[in-house]
Amino acid sequence: MRLTAQEHLTARGLNSTLTFMDSQNNSFMDMALLEAIEASERGEVPVGCVIVDGENGQVLARAGNRTEELDDPTAHAELLAIRTAAHQVGSARLTGCDLYVTLEPCAMCATAISFARIRRVYFGAYDPKMGGVEHGPAFFQQPTCHHSPEVYGGLNETAAAELLKTFFREKR
């Protein structure tokens, strides 16, 4: 039996209440949080990502960070999910797809999101140090950005931020 993200958080002593925009976003961000929890259990920074076909709600890809496991600094959850989804649909363009990720994408991931032509990005925790969407280079706002998705930040921010804080606290 798989636990929900809320059950995982409670079991780890994190008393965050998950909040969502609606039940559909609930399901997809819950999946991303589960991917983040699984990444944490592998010793990876807890970031999870889910890519969904915006037309029919089909999940095309799920991934968590695997940078340590693969010895690959580019193995961020977003890039792994984009690769899988692109293979799934048979195209490098993921137009009409929505991406759910537990942490504000970095500049590298924001660039890949733009190249893939993702329709919408929903992210959990803001990342003032390494974020590339609302912070840092604010990539989608640059004149050199060819495609800017709709962006919705702070979706289930508390739960996503608590996972990250707990992970780094335990590492120290």
Active site residue 78: yes
Check if the beta carbon of residue 49 is closer than 8 Å to that of residue 80: yes
Q: Which of 35, 44, 78, 162 is catalytic?
A: 78
Q: How many CB atoms lie within 10 A of CB 13?
A: 8
HSE-CB at 146 with a 13 A cutoff on CA atoms is 9
Find the DSSP H helices in the chain.
Answer: 5-11, 23-41, 67-70, 77-89, 107-116, 157-171
Token reading at 95: 């137009």
Residue 100 amino acid letter = Y
Active site amino acids: 78
